[in-house]
Amino acid sequence: MRPGYINQLLLAFRCYTKGHVAPLPALTLRHPYPVVGACRVTGRNGRPAIIFTLQTDYGVTVKTYLPKLYVRCIDDSYINDINLKTIKLKLQYFGPSGGLTHVLSLSV
């Protein structure tokens, strides 16, 4: 059995059946998730947020909020490129780093 297999199945099942946005810590560490969609939304307390739609290995998509830092770094043209599939990104989650900061890697 591959590492993270059970974790990905549980995550996909919870998010697919309940329609929840998965928190970053629910993702499998160091697993590259292909980004299949992105959108800018109004998050908690009226603050802007970005949601990435990720593809799991099992054909189910999972949505997750990006940290606040990415809201300032990713503009609307970049989101359009992701949605039009002109950019193919993979997101990896490396865990928390010093408090509430989450370490992510976006690669082409």
Q: Does residue 16 have a pLDDT over 60?
A: no
Rounded CA-CA distance 5/15 in Å is 16
Please report which residue ranges of 20-91 form alpha helices under DSSP H.
68-73, 76-83
Q: Does residue 23 have a pLDDT over 80?
A: yes
List of E strands, the chain: 33-42, 48-55, 61-65, 90-96, 102-107
Model pLDDT, residue 103: 79
What is the rounded average pLDDT of the residues 14-31?
75
Share of the chain above pLDDT 70, in %: 80
Tens digit of each residue's pLDDT (9 = 90 or more) over 35-52: 999 999 987 788 899 999
Tens digit of each residue's pLDDT (9 = 90 or more) over 84-101: 999 989 999 988 877 667
